[in-house]
Structure 1
């Protein structure tokens, strides 16, 4: 098991297994992508510390940032989530456990938020850090609201919204580049 820390995002690009996890396909959220992390570093003046545990071709990545003696998640006000990324089929508990154990030598205090638990990410991290000897405090700070699609397309959904909302969206859409 190997644990590495990257404070230069260019270093992350040297690991093909890491880059595969950060590509738009596997990365389930824009906040899981290298491009987002670059924006945080360049625009929000955040000092990255990307923690990577690996064994063979399996990887677990935890995007972190240094803040004095403390370590926080690599997020800002606009980040909806922070989550570990793990290679499909890999032993997530083993990889995250190695990260949690090794992080004890990096900082006495780590704050991770906002962590989703839709796929058990928060529970896995909580277990890994507790088993590594960390005191873990978990509290709900937000809630995701999920709209049941029920077979509707976005166009169907939008057509059912009030006229003033549709007009505002149409007017504002021209001002935003996606």
Structure 2
């Protein structure tokens, strides 16, 4: 096992591993995503710990974790074990173990990596990974490896994820599949907008176009129902990163020259990710947000040729109207039974009904 504390220190083998994950349509496992997330958000309070495993010079696994600096410094002073966290936060819609192809990575490899993490000195009290895909084999594999490493494990629900499988459909075919209520609203509002001829859409994809478009996006966001961004510089940095890679789709709607709706989409490896959306609440009766969504659906289906559209985070009712399927994102919390703090946390969170089993597991851990 190798541990890296800076992304810049990752050898080429691990950067190539991240490129493989990127190529497999996992935007949230890409080097550029993690670089932006850490530089503009996580890094304010966290330090990175990137756990890597390689064999014969080939990188097999990379688990991007972090520690919360202030909390962990205080815990060390009190003689308590700090926690390891996924390198993710409220801006992350998916977290995953970055791995080589299934043929190259064995169950023993993953077990070894988690066993080494559990035995690190000073001990980590717990490991918290989220949000993980419930429909992926990664969740049960990591769960099993944590147990094999002497940890007590607990799953928890994070959020629902609505998405659309196009299955080769054209935009008109997709539009006809929408609920009648939504189709009628869109047709009516588009007709009204056509009569007034004062509604315009703008699509921004390049870095050169960003400064003025970003100002309009932020104006719309301030006029919407959305709470203020915890770290507004992150969104701007992510847009710039996406523009540099050719994956930015920043859509703006204007009425009489004033920006009234904005949506930040990411088109990546045949998938369209709806990352942020907002509209000026004063224009709710015009369904301006729905009109912009419809405009963008046409863009990503007809122009970008995507096979999937993903609403990413949350079970908001309106998402079901636009999407076809739902899946779930879950978290995995593993308590290190080699750590006194981890043992106490396991008893606290898992409750009395698991106490007998926990005591048996603790005995087994200290015998090995």
Q: Common fold, TM-score beyond 0.5?
A: yes
Secondary structure of the residue aligned to 1:112 is strand
Aligned to 1:66: 67
1:86 aligns with 2:99: yes
1:5-37 CA distance string (max 9 Å, x none) = 11111111x232x12221165353221011111
Residue 35 of structure 1, aligned match among 32, 36, 40: 32
Residue 15 of structure 1, aligned match among 4, 12, 15: 12
Shift of 1:148: 2.9
Matches of 2:148 and 2:23, distance apart in 1: 28
1:113 aligns with 2:130: yes
Q: Report if the CA contact (8 A) 1:86-1:92 is conserved.
A: no
Residue 130 of structure 1, aligned match among 126, 147, 160: 147
Shift of 1:80: 0.6
Aligned to 2:51: 51
Aligned to 1:143: 160
- How many matched pairs? 171
Alpha-carbon RMSD across the aligned residues, in angstroms, is: 2.6
Looking at secondary structure, tell me which structure has more helix per residue. 2
Unaligned runs of 5+ residues in structure 1 are none
Matches of 2:6 and 2:40, distance apart in 1: 15
Normalising by structure 2, we get a TM-score of 0.42
Matches of 1:156 and 1:50, distance apart in 2: 45
Aligned to 2:115: 101
Larger radius of gyration: 2
Matches of 2:53 and 2:61, distance apart in 1: 5
Matches of 2:201 and 2:174, distance apart in 1: 18
Matches of 1:132 and 1:107, distance apart in 2: 13
1:86-143 CA distance string (max 9 Å, x none) = 1112224222211210111151211111011333111110011011111110122222
Unaligned runs of 5+ residues in structure 2 are 73-81, 194-199, 205-212, 215-242, 249-368
Aligned to 1:171: 201
- Aligned pair in 2 of structure 1 residues 27, 148: CA closer, same or farther (>3 Å)? closer
Matches of 1:49 and 1:77, distance apart in 2: 19
Shift of 1:154: 5.9
Shift of 1:171: 3.1
Shift of 1:42: 1.2
1:49-95 CA distance string (max 9 Å, x none) = 11111222251111111122211000121111111111112224222
Matches of 2:152 and 2:110, distance apart in 1: 16
Matches of 1:114 and 1:74, distance apart in 2: 10
Larger relative contact order (CA 8 Å, sep ≥ 6):
2
Normalising by structure 1, we get a TM-score of 0.82
